[in-house]
Amino acid sequence: MWELTKQYWKDMWNTLWSKTTIDEKAIATLEEIQKRYKLTAKELADVGNAIKQVGNQIDDIPAALKGKKRKGRKTNMGKNAQNPINMNSKK
């Protein structure tokens, strides 16, 4: 009877350890999938923003073909401006 009980506990121990390895692999795989999903979602958001910026700049092409000047940056000429910036000024 003792041998049977001893063998039972050995079998249970092996079963538990074998399931733990599979569970750990499954958990590691799940974490990797979640990590890749977050990175992919972030990258797709960046691509969406880039496409939006391109779409906003496409409107400038007809004006450029007509020979109009670029709009460029706005000047910082407020009352408290310490270093006014004017990108369109001629030096």
13-70: pLDDT as tens digits: 888 777 666 778 888 999 999 999 999 999 999 999 999 988 888 888 888 888 877 7
| Pairwise pLDDT comparison (57 vs 7), residue with the higher score | 7
Q: In the chain, what is the greatest distance between 2 CA atoms, to the nearest angstrom?
A: 101
What amino acid occupies position 35?
Answer: K
What is the structure's pLDDT at 4? 84
- Give the chain's radius of gyration (CA, Å): 33
CA distance 56 to 59: 6
Predicted TM-score of the model (pTM): 0.47
